[in-house]
């Protein structure tokens, strides 16, 4: 039993990666909505300007808001109403994109990070989520192995 749980924990940890198991896990978890949220954020045609956004209630918004809350301690995830990506300029053919948030109560947007930095935060959060779940199953494998060892010694 502990062997099976150990293998299962390895599979769970691997589901946090961008590979085959990561894409498979996206099909049934909230992390799968992140790709749709990225698509909405990068759809500048929605506004006709150099601004893309994802709003509260749209797919992937809650996951992205939680990631922002983890990495920007001055922003509470539940106070975010919109996550905005602003295409500020193009330098040497590379688009410069900034992520900003709009908070409840209106006002100006609050700059958060460059888009590539934001994407790395999301990737790390997904890996961390599956790592902790996998470590839980690995701990259970250890407990079952230990119990099996104790029972075998008593017999």
**For 59-106, what is each residue's pLDDT tens digit?**
999 999 999 999 999 889 999 999 999 887 777 777 788 899 999 887
Q: State both tokens at 145.
A: 């192995």
Predicted TM-score of the model (pTM) = 0.82
Pairing mode, strands 51-55 and 94-103: unpaired
Q: Residue 116 pLDDT > 70, yes or no? A: yes
* DSSP string across 100-151: EEEETT--S-EEEEEHHHHHHHHHHHHHHHHHHHHHHHHHHHHHHHHHHHHH
Mean pLDDT of 136-151: 90
In the three-class reduction of DSSP (H, G, I as helix; E, B as strand; rest coil), residue 90 is classed as strand
Distance CA 15, CA 30 (A): 13
- Domain span at 95: 2-154
Mean pLDDT of the chain: 87
Sign of CA dihedral 29, 17, 129, 40: negative
The count of domains in the chain is 1
pLDDT above 70: percentage of residues in the chain:
99
Q: Residue 140 pLDDT > 80, yes or no? A: yes
Model pLDDT, residue 155: 58
């Amino acid at each position: 039993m502990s062997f099976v749980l150990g293998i299962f924990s390895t599979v769970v940890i691997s589901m946090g990666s961008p590979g085959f198991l990561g894409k498979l896990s996206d099909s049934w978890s909230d992390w799968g909505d992140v790709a749709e949220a990225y698509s909405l954020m990068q759809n500048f045609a929605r506004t006709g300007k150099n601004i893309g956004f994802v709003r509260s209630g749209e797919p992937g918004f809650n996951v992205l808001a939680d990631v922002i809350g983890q990495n920007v301690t001055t922003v509470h995830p539940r106070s975010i109403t919109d996550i905005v990506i602003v295409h500020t300029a193009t330098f040497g053919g590379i688009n410069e994109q900034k992520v900003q948030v709009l908070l409840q109560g209106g006002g100006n947007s609050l700059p958060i990070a460059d888009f590539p930095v934001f994407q790395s935060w999301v990737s790390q959060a997904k890996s961390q989520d599956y790592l902790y779940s996998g470590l839980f199953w690995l701990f259970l494998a250890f407990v079952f192995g230990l119990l099996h060892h104790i029972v075998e010694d008593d017999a």
